Chains A and B, each alone.
Chain A
Amino acid sequence: MVEATPTKRIAPAEGFRVANSVVSIETAKPASRISLRATSAGARSFEKSLNFALPRKPAETASAKGRHALWLGPDEWLLIDEANPDDSMVPRLPNKQFSAVDVSHRNMAFIVAGPGAAATLNAACPRNLSLAAFPVKTCSRTVLGKAEIVLYRTARDTFRVECWRSYAPYVRDLLAIASKDAHI
C-alpha cells in the first residue's frame, strides 16, 4: 500500500520581494479569509462568532487579534485572519441571514510599504491615496491596472493589496515596475 504523503501547498508569488530606497513590496503571509454577504440581522448574528463588531460605515475596518473585517459594500465584508491561516472562519451556525464563503485560497496579498508606497500604487490605481482621502485603517475595493484589488491601509505608509490569485503574476509585475518610478 502506498503511504499518503502530505502535499505542500504552493502559494502564488511565494517569497516574492523587491525593495528600493523608498518602497518595499512583498507577498503577505498566508491568511484565512471569508467573503461575507449579510442582512443587518445576519451581520449581528455573524458578529457572535467574530467577537468584535463588523464595520458599518463605508470604507471602515475593524481589527482584533490578527483578524480584520473590511467593509466592501452595504451588505458585503471581507474578513482576513492572519493569526490562524489554516483555520476556516466560517461559523458552524444554522443561519439563513448571511452567506459566509471561505475564499482563503482565492485571494492572496502583497504588502506595499515605505514612504513611496502610495506613489507606487498610484502608478496603476486611480484613487486619491493621500492621508486625508484614504486615512489609516480604511479600505476599499478598487482597480490596479486591469486587476480588481482590495486596498487596505494598515499604517501610514503600509498598504495591503488583496487580489485574486490568478491576477497575482500581473499585480506582482505591475507593482515591481511601478516601484522603480516611485519618487517622493
Chain B
Amino acid sequence: MLLIHCPYCKDDRPELEFSNAGEAHIVRPTNMSDISDTEFEAMFFMRDNPKGIALERWRHAHGCGRFFNVARNTVSDKFLKVYKAGEPRPSDAEIEELLK
C-alpha cells in the first residue's frame, strides 16, 4: 500500500485515508459571465492528464479532512512533493530536480 505524507498531520499515512480531487492550480475566472463557452469549457472540463509529472489536489478524507497539493509521477505513482493548499506550485526546475 502507498504511504502518502500529509502536510497537516506531518506523518505518512496509508493511501486508504486519502481521495484524489483532480488537477491542482486551476484558477476560476473572476469575470465568469464575460467569458465565452469555449473558454468556460477549457477551464471547467478540459484537463491535461499528463504522462509524467502531474500536479494534483488530494484530500486527507479519513484523517484531518484537509485538501493539499502534490506533484506525482503518473507513470511510477511516486509522490515527489507534497505541499499545503495555497502554497505556490513548484517550478519546472524544481520538478526536474525531484525527478533525479
Query: Which residues of chain A in 136-154 are interfacial with respect to chain B, using CB atoms and an 8 Å cutoff?
Result: 140-143, 148
Mark contacts of B4-39 with chain A using CB atoms, 8 A cut-off: 1 yes-contact digit, 0 otherwise.
000011110110110000000000000000000000
A126 touches B62 (CB 8 A): no
B66 touches A58 (CB 8 A): no
User: Is B63 an interface residue, CB under 8 A from the partner?
Assistant: yes
A76 to B66, CA, bound (A): 10
B13 touches A58 (CB 8 A): no
15 more A-B residue pairs beyond the given contacts A59-B9, A127-B14, A148-B62, with a C-beta to C-beta distance below 8 A: A58-B8, A58-B11, A73-B8, A73-B64, A73-B65, A74-B64, A76-B65, A126-B17, A127-B13, A141-B65, A142-B13, A142-B17, A142-B62, A143-B16, A143-B17
A126 to B16, CA, bound (A): 8
Q: List 17 A-B contacts (CB under 8 A).
A: A58-B9, A58-B10, A58-B64, A73-B63, A73-B65, A74-B8, A74-B64, A74-B66, A126-B16, A126-B17, A127-B13, A141-B62, A141-B63, A142-B13, A142-B63, A143-B16, A143-B62
A59 to B63, CA, bound (A): 10
List residues of chain B with CB within 8 A of the CB of A142. Answer: 13, 17, 62-63
List residues of chain B with CB within 8 A of the CB of A76. Answer: 64-65
List residues of chain B with CB within 8 A of the CB of A74. Answer: 8, 64, 66
User: Is A72 an interface residue, CB under 8 A from the partner?
Assistant: yes
Chain B interfacial positions (CB closer than 8 Å to A): 1, 8-11, 13-14, 16-17, 62-66
Number of interface residues of A (CB under 8 A): 13
Closest beta carbon of chain B to A39's beta carbon, Å: 15
The count of A-to-B residue pairs whose CB atoms sit within 8 angstroms is 39
Smallest CB gap from B11: residue in A: A58
List residues of chain B with CB within 8 A of the CB of A59. Answer: 9, 11
A141 to B11, CA, bound (A): 13
List residues of chain A with CB within 8 A of the CB of B17. Answer: 126, 142-143
Q: Quick one: given A58-B9, A59-B11, are A141 and B16 in contact (CB under 8 Å)? A: no
Closest beta carbon of chain B to A36's beta carbon, Å: 13
Smallest CB gap from A148: residue in B: B62
A140 to B9, CA, bound (A): 9
**Closest 7 pairs between A and B when the two form their complex, measured CB to CB:** A73-B64, A126-B14, A58-B9, A143-B62, A73-B65, A148-B62, A126-B16
A59 to B13, CA, bound (A): 12
List residues of chain A with CB within 8 A of the CB of B1. Answer: 126
Closest beta carbon of chain A to B78's beta carbon, Å: 19
A59 to B12, CA, bound (A): 12
List residues of chain B with CB within 8 A of the CB of A140. Answer: 9, 63
A88 to B63, CA, bound (A): 25
